[in-house]
């Protein structure tokens, strides 16, 4: 029984790690973001600040096996703890070696699979961070992408267009769909819904950070690889605001009306707004 439990826990951690990697986990740090919506369908969106990527090497480290340590032995009849025999310790060590080899093989398979999924980039490799930065720099909207180390990017993004399609930020070329910070969904009646699931605390609507918290972070969210979220999100529009979850409601603005959300660990819910653009 003493050996079965660590194996089960290791399997759960590995499964969660794969789920996180498959989602291309991104998290905001310190930032300022704005969205401008015009009734004629024009929009501009900007994000300036930190974006963090939880790399394969960090997740692999979560399940790194500790050095061998003998588990307590118990009497068959009394169930009381007793000193292990040399054979029992040898059997425990053999089982530990078997788990260690299986874990190394599994991590190699996972790394090869992730490299294929992420367009040839080995997320555990030393050049992965710069390769990702290069992909972002050649995509429309990315004005600046600076890698600061430890999975942290300092970026400036700004794009303008027409809302004849849905929009999500951020995306990375040749990567599977990442967890969006901001999503704009267009409706046939000219209404758009804006959701910002990435601008939510762990307890309300940010499942990936919640998974990571479950793997060892404190309630403050200070798990390694997750910077503390601290930013602002603003929506300006001359359309009709049908719904929103700001604390104080829409305010007058030279461009029409504006909605402001402070984004931090005290934010009660992910920002949301429903705006009617077309007449």
Domain count, the chain: 1
Q: Is residue 71 in some structural domain?
A: no
Task: Answer whether residue 240 is part of any domain.
Answer: yes
Which DSSP string do the residues of the chain spell out, in sequence order? Answer: -TTHHHHHHHHHHHHHHHHHHHTT-EEEEEEEEEEEE-TTSEEEEEEEEEEEE--HHHHHHHTPPPPP-PPPEE-TTT--EEPPPHHHHHHHHHHHHHHHHHHHHHHHHHHHHHHHHTTT--TTSTTHHHHHHHHHHTSTTEEEEEEEETTEEEEEEEEEEE-SS-EEE---TTSPPPPPSEEEEE-TTSEEEEE-GGGS-TTTT-HHHHHHHHTT--TT---TT-PPPEEEEEEEESSEEEEE--SS--EEETTEEEEEEEESTT--S--EEEEE---
Look at the block and give the residue holding tokens 């929506």.
Answer: 235
87 found inside a domain: no
Which pTM does this prediction carry? 0.70
Residue given tokens 């769909």 in the structure block: 177
Res 11: pLDDT? 46
| The pair of three-digit structure tokens given for residue 86, joined into one six-digit string | 């040399």
Can you give the pLDDT of all 279 residues of the chain as single tens digits?
444 444 444 444 444 444 444 445 788 999 999 999 999 999 999 999 999 886 544 544 444 557 888 899 998 888 889 999 999 999 999 999 988 888 777 767 766 666 666 666 766 667 788 888 999 999 999 999 999 988 889 999 999 999 999 999 998 887 766 688 999 999 999 999 999 999 987 544 444 455 444 444 444 444 444 568 899 999 999 999 999 999 999 999 998 999 999 999 888 899 999 999 986
> Would you say residue 268 lies in a domain?
yes
Q: What is the pLDDT of residue 254?
A: 94
Indicate whether 112 belongs to any domain: no
The answer to whether the CB of 20 falls within 8 A of the CB of 211 is: yes
With respect to residue 94, please indicate whether it lies within any of the assigned structural domains: no
Would 93 be classed as within a structural domain?
no
Name the residue range of residue 9's domain.
Answer: 4-63+118-276
Residue 234 included in any domain: yes
CB atoms within 10 A of CB 134: 12
């Amino acid at each position: 029984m003493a050996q079965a439990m660590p194996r089960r826990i290791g399997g759960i951690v590995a499964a969660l790690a794969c789920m996180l990697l498959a989602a291309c986990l991104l998290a905001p740090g310190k930032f300022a973001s704005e969205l401008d919506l015009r009734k004629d369908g024009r929009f501009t969106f900007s994000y300036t600040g930190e974006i963090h990527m939880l790399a394969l090497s960090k997740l692999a480290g979560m399940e790194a096996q500790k050095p061998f340590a003998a588990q307590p032995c118990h009497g068959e009849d009394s169930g009381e703890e007793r000193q292990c025999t040399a054979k029992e310790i040898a059997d425990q060590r053999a089982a530990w070696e078997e788990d260690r080899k299986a874990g190394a093989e599994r991590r190699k398979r996972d790394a090869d699979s992730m490299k294929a999924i992420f367009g040839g980039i080995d997320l555990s490799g030393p050049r992965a961070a710069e390769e990702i930065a290069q992909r972002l720099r050649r995509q429309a909207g990315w004005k600046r992408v600076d890698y600061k180390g430890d999975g942290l990017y300092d970026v400036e993004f700004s794009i303008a267009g027409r809302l004849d399609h849905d929009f999500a930020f951020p995306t990375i070329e040749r990567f599977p769909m990442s967890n969006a910070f901001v999503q704009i969904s267009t409706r046939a009646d000219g209404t758009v819904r804006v959701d910002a699931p990435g601008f939510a605390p762990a307890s309300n609507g940010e499942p990936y950070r919640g998974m990571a918290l479950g793997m060892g972070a404190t309630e403050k969210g200070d798990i390694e690889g997750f910077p503390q979220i601290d930013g602002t999100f603003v929506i300006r529009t001359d359309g009709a605001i049908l719904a929103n979850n700001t604390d104080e409601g829409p305010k007058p603005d030279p461009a029409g009306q504006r909605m402001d959300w402070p984004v931090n660990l005290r934010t009660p819910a992910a920002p949301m707004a429903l705006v009617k653009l077309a007449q």
